[in-house]
């Protein structure tokens, strides 16, 4: 059946047959994973709608904005400062990296033992099924892990405008200076792309928009400390995923409206799960749409995920930017202060991340931590064992899981998760 968006997708260069196949799989998975949940908040209807139109109406909004002279910038990482993009009136969107596609074509360009997230980005491009990649006026890569760093050399030949941001690997004065220099370079690149000169007032407005979004997500996260939790971990993850795609002002209003409802549910003792359900903190690699396998397994087993220590979670959304500076340079310093607190596993040493995991577990009353890692993701694999050992030394049970985007190991994961939850209930 033809879609009203077919002409738009075709103009963007999508493979319509392959794209339709993706949408069918995505829709079926969404129906099973999300719409079958009992006792969902009514406010999730907005996010259901966003997901139903994520490649349709949302892309149409971006294309129409481009026709009006606005720019679209795509990114893969929370280190790309959205505040700078918003300061010019441009839009920053997260790019597709959450499912396997065009695997045979990807294997011609990347080693087989490349992590699933990187291979997914290539698969969506090679398969011509991600409208956000095709619509972007600029794609921003970042030198986080070695896999991404080298993959961008190849991706630069596949997209017309790839901008690569260098990132520090050590939390030092020199590392901070590098991050500030890179943010200043990025600001200039965004100015050149958009034709808009960023002054202090524009940058402050960009900060306000993004700070408001982070405040709404922090409000949502705080409500999850209740028992019973008023919202499932799956729905909370979905909201974090939508944050990378949706209009930020509209998104912020929708999250705050949902939080109003959740506050009433907490007051009435209503929950997405039964009171006393095992409470789990999920930690580790980011989970992009439609990577819902592990959270679905955890909550199908009767637990509730009460927090995500992840880039698609609290790591990416916590900490506000101080917007009191009066000059662009002062505001850039404030941006660096905020982003330098991101405790990605690329940093060495990285004690801040362990402290963050411990703080989240206490704040959300987690009874155990499940550390999730994608196969071949060396930074998070290297940190997984020290995190597990440190948590267990403090009496907090932890489980390390390594997986990919396929369903082949779902049974094995289910067995391990169920055994872990049984231990928590003893």
| DSSP for 194-215, written as a single string | HT----HHHHHHHHHHHHHHHH
> Phi, psi at residue 182, to the nearest 5°?
-70, -35
- H helix or E strand, kind and range, residue 238: helix 233-242
Q: Are 152 and 128 in contact (CB under 8 A)?
A: no
Instruction: State the pLDDT at residue 2.
Output: 80
Q: How far apart are CA 411 and CA 426, in angstroms?
A: 23
Q: How far apart are CA 283 and CA 289, in angstroms?
A: 17
- 59, 48, 60: which is closest to 96 by C-alpha? 59
Quick one: tokens of 211? Answer: 């700070």
Q: How far apart are CA 64 and CA 54, in angstroms?
A: 15
Helices of type H across 342-409? 351-363, 378-393
Instruction: State the pLDDT at residue 1.
Output: 63
Show the low-confidence residues of the chain (pLDDT under 50): none
Instruction: Write the DSSP symbol of residue 7.
Output: H
Triad 202, 210, 119: Cα angle to 5°: 115
Q: How far apart are CA 79 and CA 110, in angstroms?
A: 24
Quick one: tokens of 102? Answer: 């065009």
| Backbone angle region of 249, left / alpha / beta, with phi > 0 → left and psi within -120 to 50 → alpha | alpha
Residue written as tokens 């369903």? 407
Residue 322, Cβ density class (10 Å: 0-12 exposed, 13-18 middle, ≥19 buried): middle
Quick one: tokens of 225? Answer: 């400390």
Quick one: tokens of 153? Answer: 């050399």
Other beta carbons less than 10 A from residue 172's beta carbon: 11
- 164, 128, 92, 95: which is closest to 16 by C-alpha? 128
Quick one: tokens of 82? Answer: 């959205």
List CB contacts of 60: < 8 A, sequence separation 6 or more.
Answer: 5, 8
Instruction: Write the DSSP symbol of residue 327.
Output: S
> Residue ranges per domain, the chain?
9-32+39-425
List CB contacts of 70: < 8 A, sequence separation 6 or more.
Answer: 89, 90, 91, 194
List CB contacts of 174: < 8 A, sequence separation 6 or more.
Answer: 168
């Amino acid at each position: 059946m033809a879609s009203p968006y077919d002409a738009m997708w075709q103009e963007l260069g999508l493979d319509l047959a392959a794209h339709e196949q993706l949408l069918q799989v995505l829709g079926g998975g969404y129906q099973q994973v999300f719409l079958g949940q009992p006792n969902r908040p009514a406010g999730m209807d907005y996010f259901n709608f966003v997901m139903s139109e994520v490649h349709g109406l949302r892309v149409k909004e971006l294309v129409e904005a481009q026709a009006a002279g606005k720019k679209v910038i795509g990114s893969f990482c929370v280190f790309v400062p959205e505040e700078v993009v918003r300061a010019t009136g441009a839009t920053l969107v997260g790019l597709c990296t959450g499912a396997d596609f065009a695997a045979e074509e990807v294997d011609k360009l990347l080693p087989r033992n490349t992590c699933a997230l990187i291979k997914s980005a290539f698969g969506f491009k090679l398969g011509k099924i991600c409208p956000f990649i095709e619509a972007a006026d600029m794609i921003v890569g970042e030198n986080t892990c070695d896999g991404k760093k080298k993959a961008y050399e190849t991706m630069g030949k596949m997209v017309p405008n790839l901008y690569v941001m260098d990132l520090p690997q050590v939390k030092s004065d020199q590392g901070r200076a590098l991050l500030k220099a890179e943010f200043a370079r990025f600001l200039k690149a965004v100015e050149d792309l958009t034709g808009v000169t960023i002054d202090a007032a524009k940058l402050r407005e960009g900060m306000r928009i993004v700070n408001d979004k982070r405040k709404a997500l922090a409000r949502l996260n705080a409500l999850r400390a209740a028992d019973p939790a008023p919202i499932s971990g799956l729905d909370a993850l979905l909201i974090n995923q939508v944050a990378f795609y949706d209009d930020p002002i509209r998104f912020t209003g929708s999250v705050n409206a949902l939080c109003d409802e959740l506050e009433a549910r907490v007051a009435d003792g209503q929950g997405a799960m039964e009171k006393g359900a095992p409470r789990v903190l999920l930690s580790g690699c980011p989970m992009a749409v439609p990577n819902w396998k592990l959270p679905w397994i955890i909550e199908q087993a009767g637990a509730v995920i009460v927090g995500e220590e992840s880039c698609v979670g609290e790591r990416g959304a916590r900490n506000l930017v101080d917007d009191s500076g009066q000059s662009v340079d002062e505001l850039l310093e404030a941006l660096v202060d905020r982003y330098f607190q991101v405790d990605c596993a690329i940093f060495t040493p990285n004690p801040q991340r362990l402290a963050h995991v411990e703080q989240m577990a206490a704040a959300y009353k987690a009874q155990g931590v499940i550390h999730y890692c994608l196969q071949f993701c060396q930074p998070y694999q290297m940190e997984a064992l020290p995190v597990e050992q440190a948590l267990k030394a403090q009496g907090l049970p932890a489980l390390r899981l390594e997986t990919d985007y396929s369903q082949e190991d779902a049974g094995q994961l289910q067995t391990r998760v169920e055994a872990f939850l049984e231990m928590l209930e003893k």
